[in-house]
Structure 1
Amino acid sequence: MRFAHRTLRAIGGAAMVGALVLGTASAASADATRNSQWQNKAFDIDAVHKVATGKGVTVAVLDDGVDGTHPDLTNNVLPGKRCKDGQPANRETLDDHGTAMASLIAGHGHGAGNGQGVLGMAPAAKILPIDIFENEGGPVGADNPHACEWDEAIKYAVDQGADVINISVGEDYADDTDKAAIAYALAHNVVVVNSSGNDGAEEKRGLASVPGVVQVGGSTQDGNRWDDDDGASNYSKSLMFTAPAKSLIMATANGDYEDADGNSHKSDYLTTDGTSMSAAIASGTFALLKQKYPDYTPGQLVNRIIKSTYIAKGVDKAKLPDAYHGYGDLSPLKALTADIPKGGADGPWDLSTLPKASGDKGKAAGNSSDSASDSSDSDDSNVLLYTGIGIGALVVIAVIIVIVVVSRNKNNRGGPGGPGAPGMMPSPHAYQQGGYPQQAPHQQQPPQWGPPRQ
């Protein structure tokens, strides 16, 4: 999947000249990539990463595939799944969108001290790529049909152990199956993040309008809503907060594209605008919060963000939340460290309209709790089985001993040295060696339903 051409630009400016291809880029040009991440400077990312890095957290990216071989993402991308054929989704070579989102979430950079390339919000988090599209290399939009429905992809992500689900793809509607999938995610404490869209329009019916989904709008460098000639953040009463959407640099899988002037570029990085990136940055922030507050519900994590937002100059705080800014602009360090009450489990949402969902995970994908329960039951059954076998063995041995002793006593009536003399009694251990092979202790197998947590 390619980014819309109208939002693409070469990584421009004097600082970025010659910085496009990793294989030939100098250290200075690679550093320029890192230096171009204005949002990290605004967030004081070094201070953020002293608090949390996303370690132990998995973020599912429902998009196209992700290039797990990109030097800024190596070892951070799990196999995942392509919906169209069930194959892994971590070796994307045609589409850039999923790789770009993954880099903003969990890019760790490369080079000495990982000081070059893209640094994401949660560089120690794992990415679970789920390629939802039927066609490879298609444009963003309705021309590329889905190979799996949203509810299927969301439930798969939950069952594979995702803690956060990033959806940087718009959808014009949300039906009852989608609502059930969101309820399923919330029942497992999984945060679902969705971008608001880039058309500057009101969006009432999409997935992001469902209670329990974190709808994220776009902002610019000054913290105000993104709204310029290149596009504008959609607005909605469901908008929760905004996050950077303007002039963001990201990693690519293919990097072969044309800019607005029709010039062709081949690059490991690109710079573009859009609320797709806002959602990815928010998802990375939720990964940080998940690490620090693992027992919090999605609603309680959202509560930390909306009570720690940055209010840009010119925005009337007294009128927030509103349809354009939500509760304000994302401030990750404050969300991680501020003294904010935990609040109710549902946070700012009214979840009464969602269907009830079980906390049990799907059997098809497996379930760690179910596996543990099954193994426990199996352990109990095996203990009883082995105890019965042992008692039976002892009974047989005792009977044989009695028979042998009685036989010897009868034979010994002929005098010492006859058959059955002392020293010829068979050892009880001989029967264990031959008739009752030793049983290996039962070992509980690790769950096979998804990727291990790292």
Structure 2
Amino acid sequence: MTLTRTMRVLGATALSGALLMTAAPTASADQVRDGQWVNQYYSLDKVWSVSKGDGVIVAVIDTGVDANHQDLAGQVLPGYDPAGQGRDRKPTKSSHGTSMASEIAAKGHGGDAGVVGLAPGAKILPIYQGDANDNNAIPEGIRWAVDHGAKVINISAGKTRTPSGQELAAVAYAVQHDVLVVGAAGNDGLGQVSSPASVPGALAVGAVDRSDTAWKKANYGPETLLSAPGVDMVSAGDCDGGQYCIANGTSDSSAYVSAAAALVRAKYPNLTAGQVANRLVKSAFVPPVIKGAKLPDPHYGYGILRPYEALTMDIPAGSAQGPLAAAASSGGSKAPSAGSSGAASAPPAGSLPPIAASDSGSKGASYLLIGVAVLVGLVLLVVVIVVLARRGRRQSQVQQPYAAPTWQPGQQPYGGQAPPPGYPQQQPYGGEAPQPGFPPHQQQPYQNNPYQDGNQQR
């Protein structure tokens, strides 16, 4: 399930705005910090003057996080390995999860040495992404994270395929419990966002380089809501025996968006997960290449992440759902069986229903009950009229002598009588004309997308 990243050992210092990579010697810690171009790109001192993400737990569902790495000391909470092998805090294979955790919440070491994350006040909840046989256990991990205090879930893993029923239900469970799920779009250069980032209710992230150009290998599609730095990314991790790596990928972009979400959740604790996404989206930088185009753009989404602006701009809270597509399942306590199939249809990314899903469901049920009651009443009225007509006919036959019937012009044959004056013309079942003031059966699509014009030029 891990998204393939081009990872290399960090070998030398930055030179002329680009990192010169060699296999040896291993870079010193201060060279590592200098190599984190994102620190200057986002002006971390300004960001941290507003929020460091204090008190927010970010779950990292990945290959495990090395809790003993010097830059993550004290930042990693006890986590979860579905197989009970302890791989959540002691990775046995890839250091991918350690890299993601470091970009989110690393504190460096020795002053200005080592990697620092965007939200060093946050804590990492590591969750191993596979079961005992390394099968996909991400849905189970999502539910475990929700139940153990995570407010943001980073999933820099996935596959380019239709979401499973278990993934749909797990993300819906997170939405139901006000947890923001952030996912990487994928690194195949395909026009299909990877799952679970593509699942309705999740926030899918694409990648850009330091010149704000979309990375050519990033997957793209209508589900993409944001983009963030993902090229030449320096992070903590075991690459060829070293302690630091450099890599390209939407995995890194997702980690930075998750960190920014932690900053916002610490600053605005009363916002819902959707409203946090709203701040991230409304404050995003719209590069000139998509300026004036209909958003979300399949590569950039609504723009490039800007953490400081997300924390400081005057942005109305908006609806609880925000720009996130409506979750496709109620996300009950039990996930679908392993045989559950593919995706349920979802509204286009960024479209918002005029009312919350729960309100829509209850009102729809009320309207259905009213319609059924009206239909039953009409049927009873017809029955009463028929019974009275037959009773009257029998009485007239007893009281009056037999006489040959006389047919009136225009009279209908038996079984095809014209309805009494004023009697409603009944439509076929399921197509009844609505009562006066009764809302139409089919809801009109939401027309006013509040995310079209809210972005600010950086």
| TMscore range, shorter length | 0.5 to 0.7
Task: Give 2:286's aligned residue.
Answer: 311
Q: Structure 1 residues 109 and 184 mapped into 2: Cα distance closer, same or farther (>3 Å)?
A: same
Partner Cα distance (1:214, 1:88) in 2 = 26
- Give CA-to-partner distance per residue, 1:430-450, whole Å, 9 cap, x none: xxxxxxxxxxxxxxxxxxxxx
Q: Matched residue of 1:72: which SS?
A: helix
1:325 Cα deviation after fit: 1.1
Q: Is the 2:3–2:157 contact (alpha carbons within 8 Å) kept by the matching residues of 1?
A: no
Of 226, 233, 249, the match for 1:274: 249
State the distance in 1 between where 2:76 and 2:23 align.
23
Aligned counterparts of 1:153 and 1:347: Cα–Cα separation in 2: 24
Matching of residue 202 in structure 1 with residue 191 in structure 2:
yes
Q: CA deviation at 1:8?
A: 3.0
Aligned to 1:295: 270
Is it true that 1:120 corresponds to 2:117 in the alignment?
yes
Distance in 1 (alpha carbons) for counterparts of 2:5 and 2:286: 32
CA distance in 1, matches of 2:221, 2:266: 30
Secondary structure of 1:208's counterpart equals coil
Contact 1:310–1:330 (8 Å) recurs in 2: yes
Residue 232 of structure 2 aligns with which residue?
247
The answer to whether the 8 A contact 2:79-2:89 is kept is yes
Aligned-partner residue type, residue 218 of structure 1? A
The structure 2 residue matched to 1:193, chosen from 162, 182, 188, is 182
Q: Which residue of 1 aligns with 2:68?
A: 69
Q: How far does residue 148 in structure 1 lie from its aligned partner after superposition?
A: 5.2
Q: SS of the residue aligned with 1:317?
A: coil
Shift of 1:6: 4.7
Letter of the 1:160 counterpart? H
Say whether residues 1:83 and 2:68 are aligned partners.
no
1:134 CA displacement? 5.0
Tell me if structure 1 keeps the 8 A contact 2:12–2:31.
no
Q: Which residue of 1 aligns with 2:328?
A: 354
Counterparts of 1:338 and 1:208, CA distance in 2: 27
* TM-aligned CA deviation for residue 69 of structure 1: 0.9
Instruction: Return the letter of the residue paired with 1:292.
Output: K
Residue in 1 that maps onto 2:106: 107
**Per-residue deviation at 1:300?**
0.6
Name the aligned partner's letter for residue 66 of structure 1: V
**1:222–1:312 Cα contact (<8 Å) kept:** no
Kindly state the Cα deviation for residue 211 of structure 1 after the two structures are TM-superposed. 1.5
What letter is aligned with 2:251? Answer: S
C-alpha distance in 2, partners of 1:151/1:328? 28
Residue aligning to 2:405: none
Q: Measured at CA, do residues 10 and 157 of structure 1 come closer, stay the same or move farther in structure 2, by a change above 3 Å?
A: same
Aligned residues: 331
CA drift at 1:14: 6.0
Deviation string 1:83-104 (CA, Å, 9 cap, x unpaired) is: 2225362133542101000000
Going from structure 1 to structure 2, the CA distance change for 1:152 and 1:5 (only over 3 Å counts) comes to closer
SS at the partner of 2:260?
Answer: helix
Who is 1:45 aligned against?
44
- Partner SS for 1:60: strand
The answer to whether the 8 A contact 1:33-1:118 is kept is yes
More helix by share: 1
* Letter paired with 2:105: A
1:194-229 CA distance string (max 9 Å, x none): 0001111011572222221000000110222112xx
Q: Measure how far apart 1:82 and its partner are.
A: 1.6
Aligned counterpart, 1:184: 173
Displacement of 1:174 in angstroms is 1.3
| Equivalent residue, structure 2, for 1:32 | 31
Q: Deviations over 1:23-80 (max 9, x none)?
A: x97xxx3222111111121111111011111111111111111111111100000120
Note the alpha carbon deviations across 1:155-175, whole angstroms, 9 max, x for none: 011111111111000222312
Secondary structure of 2:285's aligned partner: coil
Amino acid at match of 1:217: G
Q: 2: CA distance between counterparts of 1:208 and 1:226? A: 17
Is residue 11–residue 24 contact of structure 2 (8 Å, CA) maintained in 1? Answer: no
The alpha carbon displacement at 1:13 in A equals: 4.5
CA–CA distance in 1 between the matches of 2:5 and 2:265?
35
Over aligned residues, Cα RMSD in angstroms? 2.7
Q: What is the distance in 2 between the residues matched to 1:88 and 1:269? A: 20
1:238 maps to: 223
Deviation of residue 356 (structure 1)? 2.2
CA contact (8 A) 1:19 1:30 kept: no
TM-score by length of 1: 0.68
Conserved in 2, the CA contact under 8 Å of 1:11 and 1:249?
no
Secondary structure at 1:302 match in 2: helix
Partner of 2:301: 326
For the residues of structure 2 that align with 1:8 and 1:207, how far apart are their CA atoms? 26
Equivalent-residue separation in structure 2 for 1:344 and 1:14 (angstroms): 44
CA 1:343–1:361: 2 relative to 1, 3 Å:
farther
Identical aligned residues as a percent? 40
Once residues 295 and 9 of structure 2 are traced to their aligned partners in structure 1, the CA distance between those partners, rounded to angstroms, is: 33
Match of 2:399 in 1: none
Superposed CA deviations along residues 126-145 of structure 1, whole A, max 9, x for unmatched, are 1111112358xxxxxxxxx6
Query: The residue matched to 2:39 in structure 1 has which SS?
Result: helix
Query: Which AA in structure 1 matches 2:321?
Result: D
Distance in 2 of aligned mates of 1:272 and 1:82: 26
Q: Which moved more, 1:146-155 or 1:45-54?
A: 146-155
Partners of 1:19 and 1:32 within 8 A in 2: no
Task: State the AA in 1 paired with 2:310.
Answer: A
2:281, 2:302 within 8 Å by CA — same for their partners in 1? Answer: yes
* Superposed displacement of residue 319, structure 1: 2.6
- Is contact 1:63–1:169 with CA below 8 Å preserved after alignment? yes
1:18–1:182 Cα change, 3 Å: closer
Aligned AA (1:237): P
Q: Which residue of 2 aligns with 1:422?
A: none
